[in-house]
Amino acid sequence: MSIAIPNRAINKHTKHYPFGMLIQERTYTATVEGYRFGFNGMEKVDEVSGSGNAYDFGARIYDSRLGRWMSVDPLQKKYPSLSPYNFVANSPILFIDPDGRVIDLGNLTPEQKIQYKALLDKLSKSELHNYVQNALESSSNTYIIVIDNDMKAGGSFNPETGVIKMNLTVMNNVPEIASEEMFHAYQKDRLGENHSEVSKQNIEAEGDLYVLYVQNELYGELGLRVDFGHLDNDLVADLGVNDGTTTSEDMSTEDYQSLYGQLVQKRYEKYKDDPKAPSSYKKEPSGDASSTLIKATKEKEANEQKLEGPKLENVDYYGS
């Protein structure tokens, strides 16, 4: 028996100082041109500071020669003792910064990061999604994005680990599913320890309703793009999804919450006798209101109206 080992050529080899600046005498490049990634797997921005000196982390541009960001930390209020331009608290041996924010993309390959950003670009037309995404990025908690194109579902969120799984094969065609999993993370973020006390039926039903509002903002179309199996167009219309005019004040009314209760009950009826459904889907609904969706909608409205008044600790606006 013989084993043939192909002759592999090394096209590029680089070494960096701790803050990411290239060690020139230990950097080798053969004939590869146009390879866009370097320090921490991030995309180079050669037009900013020269070849291999600046990197796009997603939220901010980083200059590896200075060991500093080119713009202030969007979470600077949480770290008053640190410069808003510092990189990983000036400790690059101990810490990493996945993308200049709190959503952790450290598990993604460079190609997956490009796909993930393209997915967010599709969702950026929805102001409701933009608010939820920004809320997660501004959170003190860390949420980890994992791409799993082999999973049967379009996506999932684990409230115990903070992992948001995404099946890009599905989500590229229906990006609002990705937004729903981010909304489930937002529910956990806003409900905190109370999250475990809210029934799975309510958590999921609120996510279903959230998707429909995002869908309306993205496409402005009537009907259901996502087949939930327990909704109908009449209920969707009664909830005001199709006309895009439902406000947080509307959502707080008894009539609206009664309709929301019907949605939760329909979901329960669908899954209670399904042998393949998780046991959490078969429990009686707890009767909770759609509080986190109201909160997200209220904040979206405040952002649209450019309200900058004092806020409560849970990020509700008092007013202008």
Give the CA angle between residues 112, 116, 122 to the nearest 5°.
Answer: 145
Q: Which residue type occupies 233?
A: N
For residue 213, tell me if it sits in a domain.
Answer: yes
Residues of the chain with pLDDT > 70: what percent?
Answer: 73
Decide if pLDDT at 7 tops 90: no
Average pLDDT over every residue of 100-127: 80
177 and 128 assigned to the same domain: yes
* Domain end position, chosen among 100, 118, 152: 100
The tens digit of pLDDT for each residue in 80-91 reads 667 888 887 776
pLDDT interval class at 185 (50, 70, 90): very high
- DSSP-derived pairing of the beta strands 103-104 and 143-147: parallel
Decide if pLDDT at 308 tops 60: no
247 and 174 assigned to the same domain: yes
pLDDT interval class at 20 (50, 70, 90): confident
Best CA proximity match to 108, nearest among 164, 174, 54? 164
SS3 call for 271: helix
For residue 252, tell me if it sits in a domain.
Answer: yes
The tens digit of pLDDT for each residue in 283-306 reads 777 766 678 888 888 878 877 776
pLDDT interval class at 318 (50, 70, 90): very low
The tens digit of pLDDT for each residue in 154-177 reads 889 998 888 899 998 888 888 888
120 and 187 assigned to the same domain: yes
52 and 87 assigned to the same domain: yes
pLDDT at 314: 44
Decide if pLDDT at 316 tops 60: no
CA 107 vs CA 48, 111, 112, 251, 319: distances in Å: 27, 12, 9, 37, 40
Q: Say how far apart CA 294 and CA 75 lie, in whole Å.
A: 24
Residues of the chain with pLDDT > 90: what percent?
Answer: 5
Q: Helices in the chain by DSSP H: which ranges?
A: 46-49, 110-123, 127-137, 168-171, 176-191, 200-219, 233-238, 248-251, 254-271, 291-304
pLDDT at 63: 87
- Could you tell me if 106 and 43 are in contact, meaning their C-beta atoms sit under 8 angstroms apart? no
Decide if pLDDT at 317 tops 60: no
Decide if pLDDT at 315 tops 80: no
Strongest mean pLDDT among 47-61, 102-116, 117-131: 117-131
Best CA proximity match to 162, nearest among 123, 135, 199, 189? 189
* Domain end position, chosen among 43, 71, 100: 100
pLDDT interval class at 181 (50, 70, 90): very high
Strongest mean pLDDT among 119-128, 238-247, 286-295: 119-128
- Could you tell me if 41 and 110 are in contact, meaning their C-beta atoms sit under 8 angstroms apart? yes
* Domain end position, chosen among 100, 122, 144: 100
168 and 276 assigned to the same domain: yes
- Per the structure, the complete domain to which residue 32 belongs is given by 21-100
Mean of pLDDT over the chain: 76
For residue 271, tell me if it sits in a domain.
Answer: yes
* Confidence (pTM): 0.65
For residue 1, tell me if it sits in a domain.
Answer: no
150 and 287 assigned to the same domain: yes
245 and 131 assigned to the same domain: yes
- Could you tell me if 289 and 257 are in contact, meaning their C-beta atoms sit under 8 angstroms apart? yes
115 and 209 assigned to the same domain: yes
Decide if pLDDT at 127 tops 80: yes
179 and 271 assigned to the same domain: yes
The total domain count for the chain is: 2
76 and 139 assigned to the same domain: no
- DSSP-derived pairing of the beta strands 54-56 and 163-166: unpaired
Average pLDDT over every residue of 232-242: 71
150 and 299 assigned to the same domain: yes
300 and 227 assigned to the same domain: yes
Q: Which residue type occupies 283?
A: K
For residue 315, tell me if it sits in a domain.
Answer: no
Residue matched to tokens 């680089």: 14
Decide if pLDDT at 320 tops 50: no
Decide if pLDDT at 207 tops 80: yes
pLDDT at 4: 43
Q: Which tokens sit at 170?
A: 């599905």
